[in-house]
Chains A and B, each alone.
Chain A
Amino acid sequence: METNKIDIGKEGSEIVKSPSGWRIVGREIMRDKVALFSLIFLIAIMIIVYGTSLLLDVREIVKVDLFSIHQPPSEEFLLGTDYGGRDVFGQLIIGTRNSLSIGILVTLMTGAIGIIYGLVAGYFGGTVDNIMMRILDFFQVLPFLMIVIVFVAIVPKYSILTFSLIMTAFLWMGIARLIRSKALQEKELDYVQASKTLGTSNFKIMFTQVLPNLSSLIIVTMTLNLAANIGLESGLSFLGFGFPESTPSLGTLVSYARNPQTLEFRWWVWVPASVLILVLMLSINNVGQALKRATDARQRRG
C-alpha cells in the first residue's frame, strides 16, 4: 500500500502525503492512557519472558528436587517451590513464554484460515458461500472443548505445533464468520465492481482491494482472540490436557491448586500464575478495545 519512495524530481517536495489509517490509529492509542499502559506492560512482559528464558536452563527448572519440596518464597527461590521441589519463579517465566507462544501461534493460524475462508465465502457468495457456511455451521456446533481433550489424549506425541494445530482446527470459525459477513457487504460496493471492469482478477481484488478494508476488523478481532486463546490454553493445561509438566504453561502452575492443601496453604504456587494470566488477558483486551475504538470513527475520543 505504501508508496512513499517516489522519485518525481524537483517538484517532489510539493507532494502532500496524507497520513495513513494506521498513523491515525496509533495517535488514538497514544491518547488512551489505559491502553498505552497495557501495551507497554505487554511489551515489557514479552521482552522479560523471551529474554530471560534464553538465560534460564529449562531442564534445571523442571528437574524434580525432593529435598526442597513446597518451600515458601525465599532468597534462593523467589516464589518458592512446588510439590516436585521445582522453582516456581523459573516455571512462571517459562510458562508465560509457552502460553504466549501458543496463544500467538494459534491466533495467527486461526486468523489466516479464517480470513481466507471468510473472504472466499463472502466474496463469491451464492452457492459457494452456502456450502462453505454449512461446513462452518457444523464445526461450530461440535462440542469443541471435549473434542480437543479427546484429541490431546489420543495423539501420542505432541509438541507446541501439534497442540496448536489441534486448537486451530476447532477455533477458526468465529473469525471466518465475521470476515465473511463483512466481505459480503464490501463486495457490493462499487469499488469492487470497478476493479472487475479494470481487469483485476478476483484473487487480486479479494486480497488487495477488499482485505485492506477489513484490516481494522481483523486486527481488533485477532487481538481479542489472542486473549481468549491464552485463556483456553491455560485452561486445557489446568485440566491436564495441555502440555506435560516438563513443558510448563501458566495453566500447569494453576493446576497444582487442584490439590486442596496447595489451594489453601501454598498460595505461592498458584496465585502468581493466576494473577499473571488475569493481568495478561486484561491488558490484551484493553489494547483490543482501544483499537476497536480507534478504528471506529464514531467512537473516537478526540
Chain B
Amino acid sequence: MSYLEVKDLKVHFPVKGGLFGRTLAHIKAVDGVNFSIEKGKTYGLVGESGSGKTTTGRAIIGLNKITSGQVFFEGQDITNLNKANKDIRRDIQMIFQDPYSSLNPKKRVIDIISEPLRNYEKLTKGEETKRVQELLELVGLNPESILKYPHEFSGGQRQRIGIARAIALKPKLIIADEPVSALDVSVQAQVLNFMKEIQKELGLTYLFISHDLGVIKHMCDQIGIMYKGRYVESGTKEDIFNHPQHIYTKRLVAAIPDMNPRNRQQHLQFRQEVKNEYEQAYNQYFDDEGLAFQLQPVSDTHLVALPEKG
C-alpha cells in the first residue's frame, strides 16, 4: 500500500441558476483521478489553470468537499478528513500559493506560526516562543522577528513563514499549492532548494502542485499531468520528460524554454512541429467533449490516456 493513495476522486461543483436557484448542472473540476505517492518522495501535479490540480490538493486536505472517491493515508481512509482522527489531521499540512493573503495581516509572526501548536499541543508561553524561534531559524529567518507583522517581510520571507507554520507540527505530508508562482524568479530557486532541504531533514513527502514544468522537473520524482479535471499522463520524471506519449504532454514539454540561444531556431521549429501534430491528432487523443480517455499502462510506471484501440 502506498503512503498516500487517491482512488477515483471526483469533485463536482453545482451550477445554480433559474428562478428558484436550482442546480442546473455540475462543473466537474476533478473527474475521476487516481494516483499514489511514495513516502519521502515528491509527487508533481501539473496542469494549466482550471485543470483541477489545485482542487485535487484542496480536496485531499478537506478544503473542498469530495463528491465521490476515496483517499487513503498510511492505509487509513481520510476521505472525510474533517471528521477524521485528530492525529491524522496534523500529519497533513498545506503551503499556499499567495504568501500575501495566506498570512493574517493582523497577527504577529509568533501568533501565525504558533496557531497549529496552540490547536494540537499544550505549550507554556516560554516553550511556545522557543519553538517558534527554532522554526524561524530553520526556515532561515531572524528569530528575533517574532513580534513583527507579515507586511514587514518580503514575498520570499513570507512564504518561509508559511512554510514554518506548515512544518510546526512535524507533519508527514505537505501539499504545496504553487508555492513559488507568486514569487520573483530569483527567489523561487531559493525557496525550492530550501523546501528540498527540509524534506531531507524532516523526511517529508510532498504533493507539489504547479503549472511550471521547469519547477516540477527540479522538484519531483513522480508526475501526473491533468487536463480538464482528468489525468492525461502520469509517470516518473524520466517517463514524462524524455518519453512523453500523449500529445498534450508533448506540447507542454516542448514549450519549456531552451536555455541555449544557439538552438533557438531548431527549438522553434520543433515546437511548430509539435503544434501541427497537436492540431491534427487532437481528435484522436480527446473524446467528443474534449476530455481525456481512460489511462492505459505503457510501462510499469508510465500511464497514458489513449483511446481503447491504442
Are B107 and A15 in touch, CB under 8 angstroms? no
Q: How far is the CB of B51 from chain A (nearest CB, A)?
A: 20
List residues 1-56 of chain A with CB under 8 A from any CB of chain B.
1, 3, 6-8, 11, 14-18, 21
Judged by a CB distance under 8 angstroms, whether A258 is at the interface is: no
Q: Which of A3, A190, A195 contacts B98 (CB 8 A)?
A: A190
Q: Which of B63, B101, B152 contacts A18 (CB 8 A)?
A: B152
Are A199 and B108 in touch, CB under 8 angstroms? no
Judged by a CB distance under 8 angstroms, whether B89 is at the interface is: yes
- Some 21 contacts from A to B, beta carbons below 8 A apart, are A1-B111, A6-B110, A6-B146, A7-B126, A15-B146, A16-B145, A16-B147, A191-B101, A191-B102, A191-B103, A191-B104, A193-B96, A194-B94, A195-B104, A198-B116, A198-B119, A199-B90, A200-B115, A212-B107, A213-B105, A213-B106
Docked pose: A127 CA to B110 CA in angstroms: 36
Q: How far is the CB of B176 from chain A (nearest CB, A)?
A: 12
- The listed residue with most B CB atoms (<10 A of its CB), out of A6, A15, A193, A197, is A197
Q: Which of A15, A199, A213 contacts B89 (CB 8 A)?
A: A199
Are A197 and B63 in touch, CB under 8 angstroms? yes
Q: How far is the CB of A49 from chain B (nearest CB, A)?
A: 35
Q: How far is the CB of B269 from chain A (nearest CB, A)?
A: 42
Docked pose: A213 CA to B105 CA in angstroms: 8
Judged by a CB distance under 8 angstroms, whether A209 is at the interface is: yes
Judged by a CB distance under 8 angstroms, whether B148 is at the interface is: yes
Are B119 and A3 in touch, CB under 8 angstroms? no
Known contacts A190-B101, A199-B90; is-contact A18 B147 (Cβ 8 Å) = yes
15 new A-B contacts, CB < 8 A, other than A197-B63, A213-B105, are A1-B111, A3-B110, A6-B147, A8-B130, A11-B144, A17-B147, A21-B106, A190-B96, A191-B101, A193-B102, A197-B92, A197-B94, A198-B116, A212-B107, A215-B106
Residues of A within 8 A of B (CB): 1, 3, 6-8, 11, 14-18, 21, 189-191, 193-200, 209, 212-213, 215
Judged by a CB distance under 8 angstroms, whether B61 is at the interface is: yes
Judged by a CB distance under 8 angstroms, whether B97 is at the interface is: yes
Are A3 and B94 in touch, CB under 8 angstroms? no
Taken residue by residue from 83 to 95, chain B's Cβ proximity to chain A (1 for < 8 Å, 0 otherwise) reads as: 0001001101110
Q: How far is the CB of B73 from chain A (nearest CB, A)?
A: 14
Are A199 and B126 in touch, CB under 8 angstroms? no
On chain B, the residues within 8 Å of A197 by CB distance are: 61-63, 92-94
Docked pose: A6 CA to B131 CA in angstroms: 13
Judged by a CB distance under 8 angstroms, whether B120 is at the interface is: yes
Known contacts A190-B97, A193-B96, A199-B119; is-contact A16 B148 (Cβ 8 Å) = yes
Are A195 and B115 in touch, CB under 8 angstroms? yes
On chain A, the residues within 8 Å of B96 by CB distance are: 190, 193-194
On chain A, the residues within 8 Å of B72 by CB distance are: none
Are A196 and B62 in touch, CB under 8 angstroms? yes
Docked pose: A196 CA to B119 CA in angstroms: 11
Q: How far is the CB of B14 from chain A (nearest CB, A)?
A: 11
**Closest A-B pairs by Cβ, 4 of them:** A190-B102, A212-B106, A198-B116, A199-B119
